Chains A and B, each alone.
Chain A
Amino acid sequence: MSTARESTAIAVETIGMTKRFGAFAALDDVSIKIEAGGFHALLGENGAGKSTLVKCVMGFYAPTSGSVLVDGREAAIAGPKAAQAQGLGMVYQHFTLVPSLTGAENLVIARADVPRVIDWRSERAALAAFMAGMPFRLDLDRPVAELSAGEKQKLEIVKQLYLKARFLILDEPTSVLTPAEAEEVLGLLRGMTDAGALTVLMISHKFREVETFARSFSVLRRGRLAGGGTVGAVSRDDMAAMMMGERQVRTVAARSGTPDPDRTVLHLTGVTATDPSGLRHIAIETLRVQAREIVGIAGVSGNGQKELADVLGGQIRATGGRVVVAGAPYAGTRSESRSRRVRFIPEEPLRNACAPLMSVSENIGFRAFDRRRDDPEGRPALWLDKGGLRRRAHDLIARFGVKTASAEAPISTLSGGNVQRAVLARELTDPVDLLIVVNPCFGLDFAAVADIRSLIVAARNGGTAVLLISEDLDEILELSDRILVMSEGRLVYETPAAQAEVGVIGRHMAGHH
């Protein structure tokens, strides 16, 4: 296993890459050159064409025009297999590992030359030798479904290196890692590029990461190359300006007023629960959220945040303890959430809080359709007031700035930011005493993020108790009055936001406490 082929990085260049979907140009004449052994960052808002570009390079899409040069020679890449044969590999944002297979099975089956009958004894020996040269320690005998998100991410990277990728594309690789893990992973990859073994193209939103690890960068905006250069030669503000273009960005509304210590809206004591796979357990000793307070729960993905949210939303049953909202036990039923004015916005709202094929107008009406007028206490309505619902939807679409072709368009046709706006329009119109939100800005562009955070802060300023569960530490730091850290199913650290130290929070997120 020591040919020159696998130990040298390759240069990749796109020339005039263009991809049209009908009349819409997702990618318009983009030429980027990445030197062998380079570490290149690709910046841009959501929908700027970053993933379209890398999918064209990887052969997922056939570009409308333009070509890819690998080591200076034009390469016809017809699909992921062909890309793999050229030494190109990509780590996707959503995992491509097979959940029920073990790590070892995932690695072996991904290889192009799997023998008909797998000799596990020799494969295992080869894997052990390979892993000895890898920067990460991983248990390859466990099914991938049992791994944490961070472990999966590492396994994805290991898989690409196992497949002898010499050019590696990373799509927002650190979104599921702790700050320390991100540092470790990117540092090791940077080391490999410095040694000339690998070329890296990283899609990222995080300037700090780009400045620390990348050597050069390009910015895409609306499918066009908006700029680029050497990292360090361009200021953060200039990079942001390249991404955003000439556009006013709303800043997050400031918090005003202080939490009301006399009104504890949400109070959990001794809550335990287990997720449907039976693998993850949570044990929350105590958690309080007061009126006019945002409590942020930080943590690395897969440390029990989802299970906590599912208990509060009524998706899974708590096996013990008490959830109390406004002085009475709460199990997340519709009548309870209505009478206690609790609103729950799960992560990935299109999947978890919408009926994707129903219209925007209908989705906005989910809270209001079964009662008369807008009266939360009103008698249930038997017949739908279609006209009323439509008027209400039109009003909310305008007020919350939901961009949609029409109120009757299926909500799945909207961009992520507009789906979230529509969901917030539905949930925040009536008076709300308790708002539980999970990863509200995941995968949204800057403008949408600012909008949505402003709405959450405005609700808090109006007296709502907000429980914000987020994997984005910056979001937690920006919005919270009080910060809790969740690790391995427990709340392990608490600090007022004013005294929060990122390093301390990061250590607790990583489980060092």
Chain B
Amino acid sequence: MSQDLGLWTVPLAVLGGAIRVSTPFLFVSLGETITERAGRINLGLEGTLVFGAMAAYATAVVTGSPWAGVAVAGLAGAGFGLLHGAICSLARVNDVAVGIALMLFGSGLAFFLGKPFIQPSAPPLPAIPFGFWSDLPQVQAALRVNVLFLVGAVLSVALWWAFRNTKAGLVIRVAGDSAEAARAMGYDVTKVRVLATMAGGFLAGIGGAYLSLYYPGSWNEGISSGQGLMAVALVIFARWNPLACFGAALLFGGAGALGPALQSVGVSSGYYLFYAAPYVLTLALLVATSSPDRALAGAPGELGLSR
């Protein structure tokens, strides 16, 4: 059958890959958007993602329920967020440095605790076959959409709405843009930021659960390959806008699927270069969207290295 499709398999595979690969990007970047909108940068989400993957997989193996795994991964992520938020609330602590420390801590702890779970297999998360109308297996494969992807899509719209239309959303934006103004209004900036970092960690943990319980769908030490870090860059590219995060996550997911797709149609030389597409894309986008003459529009005012 694949011969019939010819080169059409590439865009189809990229579309399918975009949907499949983008989910962790989406969850981590939505989480990081909440955190950064509140005025903190959490670079530790890479560690949270890996730990979430391990926690979800281990829980699913032990309980037999992938949803229990998702819940545990989210809670573990919130725990990491709490740790980051609490440490950063101390005087003279830099959130970037703490983030890097927690990134290494989270990954290391996940490898240590996850050793026994590399062998056993866990029940995967369910997917919905939106490609049922087609006879082509490629179309069916591309349109098998995981439930978490749909949750993430709804979540990005909900967050976009919440940042404008809810008290919590506005308070987060106030805390991230002007701590002084937030204090003048009587809000506890530290508390807002700790909660926002916890929410960010929670989502990143769920992103990890997707990695180990759906795609690639196993637990090993190389499971993340830097997706948590790329998602942080993606937030900047998306200008802290949850809707743009969704688009950017799809774009990064599609770029990640380019290498395997080309390999599958028989491009045998240089496809390793295409495996690097997401990383090249990260760099290219950051360069293309920067300017020596313009400030970054939409950047929360309290973000920075100088505090």
Contacts and interface: CB of A to CB of B under 8 A. Distances in A.
A267 interface: no
- Secondary structure at the A interface, as helix, strand, loop or mixed, is loop
Nearest to A317: B293
B174 A101 contact: yes
B297 A109 contact: no
B78 to A, nearest CB: 21
A99 B178 contact: yes
A65 B293 CA distance: 51
A105 B170 contact: yes
Contacts of A96: 178, 180-181, 184
Given A116-B166, A118-B170, A278-B297, A100 B177 contact: yes
B286 interface: no
In which size bucket is the chain A interface? Answer: 20 to 34
Contact of B168 (A80, A112, A116, A274): A116
B175 to A, nearest CB: 9
A79 B168 CA distance: 21
Given A79-B186, A80-B185, A96-B184, A277 B295 contact: yes
Contacts of A81: 185-186
Residue of A100, A274, A316 ringed by the most chain B CB atoms within 10 A: A100
B85 interface: no
B166 A109 contact: no
Given A100-B177, A101-B174, A277-B295, A114 B167 contact: yes
B298 A100 contact: yes
B165 A118 contact: yes
Contacts of B181: 96-98
B166 to A, nearest CB: 5
A80 B184 contact: yes
A130 interface: no
Nearest to B296: A276
Contacts of A316: 293
A280 to B, nearest CB: 12
A238 to B, nearest CB: 36
A51 to B, nearest CB: 14
Contacts of A317: 292-293
A165 to B, nearest CB: 13
Contacts of B180: 96
Interface string B289-301: 0001111011011
Interface string B183-199: 11110000000000000
B206 interface: no
A109 B171 contact: yes
Contacts of A97: 178, 181
A105 B298 CA distance: 16
Contact of B293 (A80, A84, A105, A276): A276
B158 to A, nearest CB: 12
A92 B165 CA distance: 27
B298 A278 contact: no
A381 interface: no
A115 interface: yes
B173 to A, nearest CB: 6
A360 B266 CA distance: 69
Interface string A316-349: 1100000000000000000000000000000000
B184 A276 contact: no
Contact of B301 (A92, A99, A118, A274): A99
Interface string B264-298: 00000000000000000000000000001111011
A117 B169 CA distance: 9
19 contacts: A80-B186, A81-B185, A81-B186, A97-B178, A98-B174, A100-B298, A100-B300, A101-B174, A101-B177, A108-B170, A109-B167, A109-B170, A109-B171, A110-B185, A117-B165, A277-B294, A277-B295, A278-B297, A317-B293
Interface of A: 79-81, 84, 92, 96-101, 105, 108-110, 112, 114-118, 120, 274, 276-278, 316-317
